[in-house]
Amino acid sequence: MNAPLATLAGLAQRFALELRGPGDARIEGVASLQDAGPAQVSFLANPQYRARLRATRAAAVVLAEADAADCPVAALVSRNPYADFARIAALYDARPAPQPGVHPSAVVAPDAVVEAGASIGPQCVVGARSRIAAGAELGPGCVVGDDCVVGAQSRLVARVTLVERVVLGQRVLVHPGAVLGADGFGLAMDGGRWLKVPQLGGVRIGDDCEIGANTTIDRGALGDTVLEEDVRLDNQIQIGHNCHIGAHTAMAGCVGVAGSTRIGRHCLVAGAAGISGHLSICDKVTISAMTMVTRSITEPGEYSSGLPMQDNRTWKRNIARFRHLDEIVRKLLPRVRELDNDE
């Protein structure tokens, strides 16, 4: 980063932030409110951390207008503090540029195409008829099967497997251990035994998606499993065959989505939620943690199921009552009707 951008004034100018305080401090990095020192920038986006703001030693804090008056150091006033802090932090996320070319230990099929500027790391495999676009990076131990495409500037960090017929768009980031394009779970019962249904489709991942560590996305049975642009998946998520996930949707860890479910755009799915197969979820839906979705959702909004944490004694009492809920309702319903008639 050049010298003007290494000062508070330079950061404010680059990211269109309002600087309140001296702008000549040189910035060497970023840190949390409690850990930041006089050469680092921090941020405040969650009101529950306001108490830490008063004690911070940061050079400056990225925050909203409403919090600026309480800031004891220089303030970078932002309409979206978390997003602007992320942009600043990216300046200090230095990573060595990958070395273009094919590592001597990599195995590339004769009819695969590795474009100029692509980087194929040690112990990688690139299968038949696959294409690795310019600027793409395959980290150590990645396997790209037959008939796959890794788009320009995409990065497979390490030990990523694209089984077959997987197409990644541009600037896709896939973390270690992810498996894309494995067989979908398609079975037919015949004569008391399971018959495997061939999975003849593929997987299509849009531009700017991110796929977390050990997440799995199965290929379609006939058509493709699809993630539109800018979908963000956390670690250890399962996406079943022929699912379609709309642009700008994000899912937290351990979510499971069964096959042939369609999820709209700008949806948020919190951790460990389960979504049954063959459902449709409209745009702008938020599903809270550990929710079990068993029917389609047609109206935007927030949806939840399950019980929040309670002390164990209270939980046991409530569960015992829940088991008898139908019996209780049947006993009370005649009395409720009598009261309604009396009115």
Quickly tell me which residue has 């003849």 as its tokens. Answer: 200
- Structure confidence at residue 336 (pLDDT): 79
Q: What's residue 5's pLDDT?
A: 56
Per-chain mean pLDDT for the chain: 95
Gap between the Cα atoms of 54 and 77, Å rounded: 16
| pLDDT on residue 338 | 80
pLDDT for residue 3: 38
* Model pTM above 0.85: yes
Q: What is the pLDDT of residue 337?
A: 83
Pairwise CA distance, residues 225 & 217, whole Å:
8
Q: Which residue positions in the chain have pLDDT lower than 50?
A: 1-4
Total Cβ atoms within 10 A of residue 25:
21
Q: How far apart are CA 73 and CA 8, in angstroms?
A: 12
pLDDT tens by residue, 282-319: 999 999 999 999 999 999 999 999 888 999 999 999 98
Of residues 224, 231, 227, 242, the one with CA closest to residue 278: 242
Is residue 241 annotated as a catalytic residue, yes or no?
Answer: yes
| Residue the block writes with tokens 């799915």 | 269
Secondary structure percentages of the chain, helix, strand, coil, to 5: 20, 30, 50
Buried b (16+ CB within 10 A) or exposed e, 225-258: bbbbbbbbbbbbbbbbbbbbbbbbbbbbbbbbbb
Helix, coil or strand: residue 319? helix
Measure the CA–CA gap between 71 and 68, rounded to whole angstroms. Answer: 5
Q: For residue 79, what are its two tokens?
A: 């309409």
Torsion of CA 109, 113, 117, 121, to 10 degrees: -20
In angstroms, the CA 137 to CA 122 distance is 11
Retrieve residue 332's tokens: 């009370």
The residue type found at 84 is D
Q: Rounded to whole angstroms, how far apart are CA atoms 81 and 87?
A: 10
Q: What token pair was written down for 11?
A: 């950061």
Structure tokens at 39: 């050469």
**CA dihedral sign, ordered 327, 329, 331, 333:** negative
Q: What is the C-alpha to C-alpha distance for residues 61 and 161, in angstroms, rounded to an integer?
A: 41
The pLDDT value recorded for residue 96 is: 84
Nearest CA-CA partner of 164 in 180, 140, 177:
180
Measure the CA–CA gap between 123 and 143, rounded to whole angstroms. Answer: 9
User: Per the residue annotation, which of 103, 175, 241, 266 is the catalytic one?
Assistant: 241
